[in-house]
Structure 1
Amino acid sequence: MSESTVRVDDPGDLIAAIPSMLSFPPTRSLVVITLRHRDVAGRDRETLIETVARFDLGPDPEGLARTAVRACIRGTDAVMVVFVDDRATPKDAQTQRRLLRMLTDGFTDAGVRVAGAWATSRIEAGEPWQAVTNPAIAGTLPDPMSGAVAAATAASGGPIRRSREEITALVALDSSAAAQLDIVLPVALDEIHQRWRLASDRGELDAIRREAIEFILDRVRDISRGEQPSSDDLARIALTVGDGFVSLVMLAVSAGEHAHAAEALWLRLTRCLRGAVRAEPAALLAYSAYLRGDGSLATSAIKAAFAADPDHPLADLLADALRDGYPHSTLRALADHGIDTATQLGIDLPRHAST
């Protein structure tokens, strides 16, 4: 989840908010919530949720602890830990406490404080939760779909999905839509190839890149108004967005005022394209999702990008960012490069202040 000023004071409320922050309810998982503190003039210091990371609970607690610490220490002041396991028994509680000690040691060595640790069998309304180190601190979970963080997530355009399988299905190929695009892509490919080759011969690549970017910007604005691009439009975008300059500017568009519409375009392209041409929209979808803090959708989109192009550079960068826990502010710097590129091409994009 991107940094949030939603205040969650009760552990039960925090645990119930996890499906909103991950975009799905985790099962048999270790969840690490990373925190960052920010000084605000004239106000008390704010605690912001920076990222939420989920790890499978497996047979290797030492390896899990090392992986979780490595992924969650970057740009972090403190973390909170939640165990979600419907198999838990009193013996498993000892295992959780042992894993918590390893996590605490690892985070402490990195200068990061473990601010709290809780456990529950599943994140559903009425389920009991308790503190890992003191079972006397306990309660029941409120409805995960009605909490403050869920409301904030929905308001920002981030849906809460029912499972990881739903997220995987979200980026799966839509065979019907792909068949429609298969019809128009060959003609579009011939036309665009000829136009770009001619522009290159004439030294007019900047002009044709500017035209391609402005065309995509117009379609993004159309989507924000509720209008949908045609198959011809999608084919044209699919065949030009892979240009390095165009793609870099699209990172800025993905972080700008029409971010939700841009993400909708990348998602639609990911669902209706086959082959290598699918990689760029899928990677841009992953970037959009990462900026929103939707790590689950970002992961699925990265997998789609790699399936289309195993060496795709943006997908590779985003995979590293997810693995190593880069804060969103780090990747947002790519959008600034995109704005600079747009300026060089004669396109004015607003520069949004980083949070």
Structure 2
Amino acid sequence: MTSIGVPDHPSTRPGRPAQTTARVRDPGELVAAVPVLLGFHPRDSLVVIGIGGSGVGSGLRLGLTLRVDLPPPTDTVPVCRAAAATLSASHPVGAVAIVLGGSAGEGAPRPDVAAAISEGLESAGIVMHGMIWARDTAAGAPWMCYPPCGCSGEIPDPAATAVAAAAVAAGHVVYADRAELERQVTPADTQRLRRRDVLLDRVLGTTAAADDQDDAPHHVTVDTALSAAEAGRLELDDAVVVALAAALQIPAVRDRALAECVGHRAAAAEQLWAALTRELPDPEAADAATLLAVAALGRGDGALANVALTRAQQAWPGHRLSAVLGKAVATGFGPAQVRRWLGADR
């Protein structure tokens, strides 16, 4: 396999993106890199990785990474066509597809998926650089390439690869599975959320009726919460949660909250937005979840961003900003674009 560079991970220091590139040199190393690319260890999945042009030095550069559940045979063709269409929107020059799950017999399982995704990508003008099967992403798991290549081997320890080392240095977290990742945005205690829903009805109704309201107290509310998160003493009781929800209804406050996602308090902001996503009732949780997605994108965590955007749409179907961001992410919107959008590089 041609040497492939994994995209640079952003530095944990605001405004200083990392310049190092981790490289994978064979199919086993590429499969081992999948948990880092997705943010979790996928199971029974089709993973399709877009490939861009040459990066620093020789080799190719990985781009947008998609994952879908392995479809039943009756749905294989439409699912693979949809995946190919989504990937093509990011304009890759090539792709690698990986089937995860099942046990190898005389050949790799799910040849129907391999054939359908290859046909879908090639029909979209995307060159196939590899079609790989692996039992899973764990160390020692068997892998093999689909015909005509047919090479095989064992997955190296994902935690010991150069890609994993780069991810750890950048502060990325790899979750055991998608369920563990989704728990980062799972709503809190139902009774607590119902109580806050009643409180929000009262507070937001009063705020909407007020004329010429002063934004300053709302800015102070957000600033105080960010400072508490930065100091490791964030506590979200009913009063704080309701006050933050009211503050985020103010456009100027919401714009400042977006800027904090890539500012010097980006880590504190991400912690605050994640906590609010869990602690706010619907539909107000949508605003917090969208801010969490922006913060996650700002540091290159597309997996958390996608989960947060899904949560935003669940909380508020049709929520405008999360819908727009979701479409942008599907076409490769990442850290550099987020920083330009929010003016962090100026």
User: What are the superposed Cα offsets for residues 57-100 of structure 1, whole Å, 9 maximum, x if unpaired?
Assistant: 21233323321222112142332221112255538454244225
Q: TM-score, normalised by structure 1?
A: 0.78
Distance 2:335 2:225 in 1: 27
2:240 aligned with 1:247? no
Question: SS in structure 2 opposite 1:283?
Answer: helix
Give 1:227 shift.
3.0
Q: What is the aligned length? A: 325
Distance 1:307 1:97 in 2: 32
Distance 1:213 1:119 in 2: 52
Please say which of residues 51-60 and 170-179 is displaced more in the overlay: 170-179
Question: SS in structure 2 opposite 1:199?
Answer: coil
2:27 partner letter: P
Matches within 5 A, 1:1-355: 3-4=8-9, 5-37=21-53, 44=57, 47-58=60-71, 59=73, 60-73=75-88, 74-86=90-102, 89=105, 90=107, 92=109, 94-107=111-124, 109=125, 112-134=126-148, 136-175=150-189, 178=192, 182=196, 185=199, 189=203, 193=207, 197-200=210-213, 208=215, 212-213=218-219, 215-231=221-237, 232-322=239-329, 324-328=330-334, 332=338, 336-339=340-343, 351-352=344-345
Question: SS in structure 2 opposite 1:122?
Answer: coil
User: What are the superposed Cα offsets for residues 184-210 of structure 1, whole Å, 9 maximum, x if unpaired?
Assistant: 95599279828x93534xxxx6xx1x6
Distance 1:84 1:166 in 2: 19
Does the CA-based 8 Å contact 1:286-1:301 persist in structure 2? yes
Which structure shows the bigger proportion of residues in helix conformation?
1
RMSD of the TM alignment (CA)?
3.3
Distance 2:87 2:204 in 1: 47
Does the CA-based 8 Å contact 1:62-1:102 persist in structure 2? no
Give 1:181 shift.
7.7
Distance 1:2 1:313 in 2: 29
Question: SS in structure 1 opposite 2:263?
Answer: coil
Structure 2 stretches lacking a partner, 5+ long: 1-5, 10-20
Distance 1:338 1:256 in 2: 10
Does the CA-based 8 Å contact 1:171-1:271 persist in structure 2? yes
1:19 partner letter: P
Distance 1:93 1:179 in 2: 44
Structure 1 stretches lacking a partner, 5+ long: 340-350
Distance 2:201 2:235 in 1: 17
Please say which of residues 173-182 and 15-24 is displaced more in the overlay: 173-182
Distance 2:286 2:326 in 1: 14
1:197 partner letter: A
Does the CA-based 8 Å contact 1:161-1:167 persist in structure 2? yes
